[in-house]
Amino acid sequence: MFIDETVDRESAQKLYVQVYSIIKGRIEKGDWPTGAQIPTEDDLCRTYEVSKATVRIAISELVRNGLLKRWQGKGTFVANPVASIGMAMKTRLTEDMFGEGVSARKEIMFKGVRRMPEDIRDILETDEDVYHILCKRVVDDEPSYLDESFIPLALFPGIETEDVCGSSVYDLIQNKASKRVFKVVQNIEVSDITGEQAKLLSVREGTPVLQMHRLLISSDGTPVAYTRLSGSGRKYRLQTEFERIR
């Protein structure tokens, strides 16, 4: 192991940020190529003369950002680094009826831990419990659409204490979850609504509704969340924004 960088204890920058930057730099320069095992936490502590807590925070952030991956019982290895070059896409669903003089509100129908629903199990590729968030958007006292999110508990310890209603699922995962979002797969379809969803939207079972499905995926290919938006059949406009990542 050859490392010439050192931490600067006189710097205002936190030590774990400095260790993070040093390890990231070595990966980007190819000193530790893809698939290589990095030194142990103890070795890194001795090399940089920092605490194990400092090293663990730095490594955890590198794992969340997809630069490193942990293999239970084997160690920590360099993942396939991906440069942040390309386009970012933001999509939102708006209604023609939203405008001046329109009364719109969001109602929280459910938030909490539940067993993995059968129709979500294959999507998230796990049998673990999920944190389920179900919201209903009401416009002029009429149900407009349902917004659901399913997040595996194992990927987001402590989500019960977060403001899941005041933040987007994407922002919550990026800021607090053990893995970050690397890719979003989105599908839009028209399908017949049934069961409890039909009741919440006050429509007959079998009524065609617009559905937007989003699967949030981490850099190692693991699904980290699934969201589903179901509109009640009014006119919608799908707005997509593309922004270059520099």
How far is C-alpha 100 from the chain's CA centre? 33
Instruction: Identify the CATH homologous superfamily for domain 86-245.
Output: Chorismate lyase-like (3.40.1410.10)
User: How far is the CA of 12 from the CAs of 17, 36, 47, 81, in angstroms?
Assistant: 10, 32, 21, 28
pLDDT of residue 141: 79
Cβ neighbours for 233, distance < 8 A, ≥ 6 positions apart: 203, 207, 208, 209, 210
pTM for the whole structure? 0.64
Which residue numbers in the chain have pLDDT < 70? 1-4, 80-103, 233-246
pLDDT of residue 236: 60
Specify the domain boundaries for CATH 1.10.10.10 within the chain.
15-78
CATH code of the region 15-78: 1.10.10.10
pLDDT of residue 45: 93
pLDDT in tens, 88-136: 555 554 444 444 455 678 888 999 999 998 889 989 988 889 999 999 9
pLDDT of residue 176: 83
pLDDT of residue 145: 86
